[in-house]
Chain A
Amino acid sequence: MAEVTSQGGENDQQNGATDPAAIAGRERLAEQVQRTGMFGAGDTGDTSGYGGLKVRRAPLLASPRPYGSYFDELADSLESAMNAAGTSYDAAIPLVVVSNGELTLYVRREHLLSVASQLRDHPDLSFEMCLGVSGVHYPDDAGAELHAVYHLLSITHNRRVRVEVTAPDADPHVPSLVDIYPTNDWHERETWDFFGLIFDGHPALTRIEMPDDWRGHPQRKDYPLGGIPVEYRGATIPPPDERRSYE
């Protein structure tokens, strides 16, 4: 769609050297294509989201004390439990965010196991159940591109807490919680499958949803939707984003 058409080109060549309008037209057509398609939605064919807003950063807004609700009590219990166990609460949890009525503890990955075991075992915390891990990929969050988000549930106290751990793309390792919460076995396999986060210490970190020989991790932001050729009985059709366009 950005190609210069040659219709009526002869006439242009005759007058174009001096006609300012023709010069301006040629310059405009020679410019680099800024965007294609309608409304700036260049990534997919649909017209939704044409606002083109791109904020590829995890919102990190530290919440000051008091957190409100049961969150202060929970944080105090965790702090005393960790200090009693000989680990530093402040070193392990650099950031606490309270938003939407939910408490998020950002935990440094090297302290994840000690924090998780305190959360599970300390009687004032008693987060008996882990609801799995959900990966999130923030390509623009330099040094912490991959996030692993754990949701913990305490049936004893009827409370919830979210634990978030980050890892850089260059070193995508997070300790496995399978020893503490066996339910995370499949959840960690899924997060590895979709995001490429390696959970160190997992008994068998293999693909679970995608085929064993799949290349890439499909739910990362740099993995396109579609993006793979359709194969059927030897014939191959290019992926939807590479098929010829009629625009």
Chain B
Amino acid sequence: MTAPSESRTGGSSPQDSTEGRVYDVGGADWDDVVAAAQSPDFQSSDERMVVNMGPQHPSTHGVLRLILTLDGETVTELRPVIGYLHTGIEKNMEFRTWTQGVTFCTRADYLAPLFNEAAYCLAVEKLLGVEAEIPERATVLRVLLMELNRIGSHLTAVGTFGLEIGATTVFIYGMREREKTLDLLELITGLRMNNAYIRPGGVSQDLPAGAIERLREYVRIMPGLLGEIRALFDAAPVFLARTKNVAYLDVTGCMALGVTGPILRAAGLPWDLRKSQPYCGYETYEFDVPTRTTCDAYGRYIVRMDEMEQSLRIIAQCVDRLSGVPIGSQPVMIEDKKIGWPAKLALGPDGLGNSPDHIAHIMSQSMEALIHHFKLVTEGFRVPAGQSYVGVESPRGELGCHAVSDGGTRPYRVHLRDPSFTNLQSVSVMAEGGLVADVIVAVASIDPVLGGVDR
């Protein structure tokens, strides 16, 4: 945005354009830019400014590129461009065993890795027909981990929402609280993200010692910490001015565009797969589905804050179910020896790995056990031919996994229906006709994770 190219002061080389005038802001004095934009010559013309935003931009929530057509401060057209983070996760999964697939799909939506794993593992278990044989403790652990992950993801969403509209304190608060969540994930799964903890047939290991106490402490302190964020944001006049009636999308729009998750619930529809199509025993937990009817960015923020409080309720119920039994006394992996991972993880003299008992067994006692271990670990198990689809309620909406098997030891095709991918389509509808500044709010309120968008 500066003076026409013939009088351009900045820019290293004149740009060749076959059509229209090219404006280049490079190195120009801002006063010249403003003067050029206000010149009667420019004002009277019907030219529109096309501004590129991203893919490396602090406010685009990731490697997302937005092409904006502006009329003054008003966005007349917005076209998102994606694909910068495409890593071929779905293709790679076709070349690894069903169990190894977890390691790939967990990296798709990197803020909600446990949901990717859960959707994929539930789809594989559906193909295997072993849903009823998953141990109760593994299912409770899955729910516990998913709800912890939901809090971590929503804290990032709310924190970066704050950062992107200039409220850095909220960002710091959000990251600080998320760190407490990630500490727990690290304690239980061994990793902060890309956990690969949920496996077909169960979970990789039971809780470590001391985890119950840490979880109880977390449930005790988190409501206060969430309250601190709410005290900063819920009624802050500047925040309300930036988010109320901004990025509007009603139920009809959500239905047409396939939008799910907090955006749909902020439009007033209490659609939550944990309630409507329960999986992992969610029907046995007590929790509410928060909704708002504002259809705007503020409603989505409030829904996310409320959901974190509900997640804490679920976590408390999980902890109650998990406590009272000595750790390791109940199975966390399917009993079926043809599917369940043969070894348990344990801390040996040289670090975490296959349990020393198991190593002793296969290396010096039973040749058959060694063969079994080798076959199951390198070849993997076979999955009956067919296809299945499982949807779980991820922090961003319905995360679906479409798994196709040809009867072999590797997936024939796995498709992740990522909510970020679908929801991001709606940014044009939300932002067109609004101000440039509201584009940032719209993107932040969708909370897309580009790892999930591009896979």
CB of B407 within 8 A of chain A?
yes
B417→A48 contact, CB < 8 A: no
- Contacts A100-B127, A132-B258, A181-B256; A151 near B417 (Cβ below 8 A): yes
**In the bound complex, CA of A102 to CA of B91 (Å):** 25
User: Which residues of A are found within 8 Å of B293, using beta-carbon distances?
Assistant: none
**In the bound complex, CA of A51 to CA of B88 (Å):** 25
B86→A47 contact, CB < 8 A: no
**In the bound complex, CA of A137 to CA of B406 (Å):** 12
User: Which residues of B are found within 8 Å of A55, using beta-carbon distances?
Assistant: 385, 406-408
Of residues 148 to 170 in B, which have CB atoms within 8 Å of A's CB atoms? none
**In the bound complex, CA of A53 to CA of B129 (Å):** 21
Most chain B beta-carbon neighbours within 10 Å: one of A129, A181, A207 = A129
B386→A99 contact, CB < 8 A: yes
Question: Can you list, as one digit per residue, whether each of A150-176 has a CB less than 8 Å from chain B (1) or not (0)?
Answer: 010101001010100000000000000
Most chain B beta-carbon neighbours within 10 Å: one of A51, A102, A209, A219 = A209
CB of B277 within 8 A of chain A?
yes
- Contacts A136-B413, A186-B421, A209-B454; A47 near B127 (Cβ below 8 A): no
A53→B407 contact, CB < 8 A: yes
B389→A162 contact, CB < 8 A: yes
A181→B258 contact, CB < 8 A: yes
A57→B388 contact, CB < 8 A: no
- Contacts A53-B407, A155-B271; A136 near B126 (Cβ below 8 A): no
B91→A48 contact, CB < 8 A: no
B91→A225 contact, CB < 8 A: yes
**In the bound complex, CA of A182 to CA of B260 (Å):** 14
Of residues 181 to 196 in A, which have CB atoms within 8 Å of B's CB atoms? 181-187, 190, 194
User: Which residues of A are found within 8 Å of B413, using beta-carbon distances?
Assistant: 134, 136-137, 219
- Contacts A46-B95, A210-B86; A151 near B379 (Cβ below 8 A): no
CB of A218 within 8 A of chain B?
yes
Question: Can you list, as one digit per residue, whether each of A40-65 has a CB less than 8 Å from chain B (1) or not (0)?
Answer: 00011011111101111101000000
**In the bound complex, CA of A165 to CA of B105 (Å):** 26
B391→A44 contact, CB < 8 A: no
Of residues 180 to 233 in A, which have CB atoms within 8 Å of B's CB atoms? 181-187, 190, 194, 207-211, 218-219, 225
- Contacts A151-B402, A158-B276, A181-B258; A49 near B422 (Cβ below 8 A): no
User: Which residues of A are found within 8 Å of B454, using beta-carbon distances?
Assistant: 209
B83→A59 contact, CB < 8 A: no
Min CB–CB distance A120 → chain B (angstroms): 10
Which chain A residue shows the least CB distance to B97?
A48
Min CB–CB distance A121 → chain B (angstroms): 13
User: Which residues of B are found within 8 Å of A211, using beta-carbon distances?
Assistant: 83
B126→A210 contact, CB < 8 A: no
Min CB–CB distance A63 → chain B (angstroms): 12
**In the bound complex, CA of A153 to CA of B259 (Å):** 12
Of residues 345 to 367 in B, which have CB atoms within 8 Å of A's CB atoms? none
User: Which residues of B are found within 8 Å of A190, using beta-carbon distances?
Assistant: 421
Which chain A residue shows the least CB distance to B408?
A53
CB of A128 within 8 A of chain B?
yes
CB of A8 within 8 A of chain B?
no
Question: Can you list, as one digit per residue, whether each of B362-387 has a CB less than 8 Å from chain A (1) or not (0)?
Answer: 00000000000000001110100111
**In the bound complex, CA of A211 to CA of B407 (Å):** 33
CB of A149 within 8 A of chain B?
yes
CB of A23 within 8 A of chain B?
no
CB of A101 within 8 A of chain B?
yes
CB of A130 within 8 A of chain B?
yes
B256→A100 contact, CB < 8 A: no
- Contacts A100-B126, A102-B388, A129-B255; A49 near B409 (Cβ below 8 A): yes
**In the bound complex, CA of A26 to CA of B251 (Å):** 75
B425→A183 contact, CB < 8 A: yes
B406→A57 contact, CB < 8 A: yes
Min CB–CB distance B74 → chain A (angstroms): 23
A128→B255 contact, CB < 8 A: yes
Known: A129-B255, A158-B277, A185-B425. 6 other contacts (CB 8 A): A46-B96, A49-B97, A131-B422, A149-B415, A208-B82, A210-B83
Which 3 interchain pairs have the tightest Cβ spacing? Answer: A183-B258, A134-B415, A209-B86
List residues of chain A with CB under 8 Å of any chain B CB. Answer: 43-44, 46-51, 53-57, 59, 99-102, 104, 128-132, 134-137, 149, 151, 153, 155, 158, 160, 162, 181-187, 190, 194, 207-211, 218-219, 225
List residues of chain B with CB under 8 Å of any chain A CB. Answer: 82-83, 86, 88, 90-92, 94-97, 100, 126-127, 129, 255-260, 269, 271, 276-277, 378-380, 382, 385-389, 391, 398, 400, 402, 404, 406-410, 412-413, 415, 417, 421-422, 424-425, 454-455
9 cross-chain CB contacts under 8 A: A59-B385, A100-B126, A100-B386, A134-B413, A136-B413, A149-B387, A149-B415, A185-B425, A225-B88
